[in-house]
């Protein structure tokens, strides 16, 4: 006897339509703020002869692109699963997050080059105009960051856009400080020094986004879940003899999933065991997307030679370690 069931998510378990619409509105407001100020900043940067302001405007362009990507990904991920896309397009959000992380790293490399160039040969700029514009940019970015913070930041997609805005805010703070120093002391290299500090923050944020999105694309288990520990927990439950082909991965942000092949003692109720295991992973590990294949174990199971059992396991080609509840010799 066998049971193969995907755990019921309950009413509205996958219905994110209302939340998605609300997130989209907040992101759209931030997009309007960013693009409007960006256009003004380019004009002022040309008038002031300030490469700092123009580079800040370029940074804001990447902010706008990141928000547009987030909005597109949000719409795509909300489409129902059909055809060959059995999960729908939920990972469009993760693709957007990875693109945001990569653009942060690329922009950091460009700004680092520009900052070093300015340290060697500092340009002449209108410090007062830079300071005023940077202060206005700080206000705009604080407002835009607040808007995005109202959206669901557990989504790696939204977090990517938020990190762009946050780093742009830091860049404007650095530009404002540099402008103030240039006005008061004439030390033009302050701009390059402030930019290098911002570059370090951008690298940190970009690396984090690329790393997290990469783990999801590579089907790695969430960092807070240990598949081996979960396997040991499952096999320790009553009537469970063996657990193999255990997979734990993330479909998209906040949606971990688990599947496994479970063998139970010949006289056990497969369905009762399956329900017990599903309740365990739901309560202990917050995994509600669960698929378990439960079968009765044969009367004789070949002994395991080692933890990664290979041909000694129940299946010819087991995926990963085999967890077995074997009696200990007295």
Query: Nearest 5°: phi and psi at 147?
Result: -60, -50
Mode of pairing for the β-strands spanning 240-250 and 2-6: unpaired
Domain of residue 248 covers 222-324
pLDDT 10s digit of each residue in the chain, 330 long? 444 444 444 433 444 454 667 788 888 999 999 999 988 888 887 777 666 677 677 778 878 888 888 888 888 877 887 878 877 788 888 888 898 889 889 988 988 888 888 788 877 766 787 788 889 989 999 999 999 888 877 788 788 888 888 888 888 888 888 888 878 888 878 877 877 888 888 888 889 889 999 999 999 999 999 999 999 999 999 999 999 999 999 988 888 999 999 999 988 899 999 999 999 999 999 998 999 999 998 876 655 544 444 444 556 666 778 888 765 444
Please name the helix (run of DSSP H) or strand (run of DSSP E) that holds residue 261, with its range, or none.
strand 256-264
Q: Which of 155, 185, 217 finishes a domain?
A: 217
CB contact set of 37 (below 8 Å; sequence gap of 6+):
60, 136, 137, 140
CATH of the domain at 133: 1.20.1510.10
For residues 261 and 116, membership in a common domain is answered with no
Q: Which of 199, 217, 235 finishes a domain?
A: 217
DSSP state of 79: S
For residues 191 and 235, membership in a common domain is answered with no
**CA proximity to 211, closest of 169, 150, 163, 145:** 163
């Amino acid at each position: 006897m066998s049971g193969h069931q995907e755990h019921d998510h309950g009413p509205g378990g996958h219905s994110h339509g209302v939340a998605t619409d609300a997130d989209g509105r907040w992101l759209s407001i931030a997009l309007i703020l960013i693009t409007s100020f960006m256009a003004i900043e380019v004009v002022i940067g040309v008038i002031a002869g300030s490469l700092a302001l123009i580079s800040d405007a370029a940074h804001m362009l990447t902010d706008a692109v990141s928000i547009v990507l987030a909005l597109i990904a949000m719409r795509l991920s909300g489409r129902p699963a059909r055809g060959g896309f059995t999960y729908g397009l939920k990972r469009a959000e993760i693709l957007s997050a990875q693109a945001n992380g990569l653009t942060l790293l690329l922009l950091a490399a460009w700004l680092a080059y520009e900052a070093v160039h300015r340290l060697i040969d500092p340009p002449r700029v209108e410090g007062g105009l830079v300071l005023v514009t940077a202060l206005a940019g700080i206000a705009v970015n604080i407002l835009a960051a607040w808007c995005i913070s109202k959206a669901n930041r557990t989504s790696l997609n939204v977090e990517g856009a938020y990190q762009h805005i946050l780093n742009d805010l830091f860049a404007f703070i650095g530009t404002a400080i540099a402008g103030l120093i240039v006005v008061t002391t004439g030390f033009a290299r302050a701009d390059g020094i402030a930019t290098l500090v911002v570059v370090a923050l951008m690298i940190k944020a970009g690396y984090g986004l690329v790393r997290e999105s990469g783990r999801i694309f590579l089907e790695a288990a969430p960092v807070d879940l240990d598949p081996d520990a979960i396997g040991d927990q499952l096999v320790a439950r009553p009537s469970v003899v063996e657990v193999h082909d255990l997979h734990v991965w993330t479909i998209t942000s906040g949606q971990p999933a688990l599947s496994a092949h479970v063998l139970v003692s010949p006289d056990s109720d497969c369905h009762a065991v399956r329900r017990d295991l599903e309740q365990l992973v739901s309560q202990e590990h917050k995994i509600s997307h669960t698929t378990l294949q439960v079968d009765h174990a044969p009367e004789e199971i070949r002994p395991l030679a080692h933890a990664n059992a290979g041909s000694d396991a129940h299946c010819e080609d087991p995926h990963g370690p085999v967890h077995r509840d074997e009696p200990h010799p007295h």
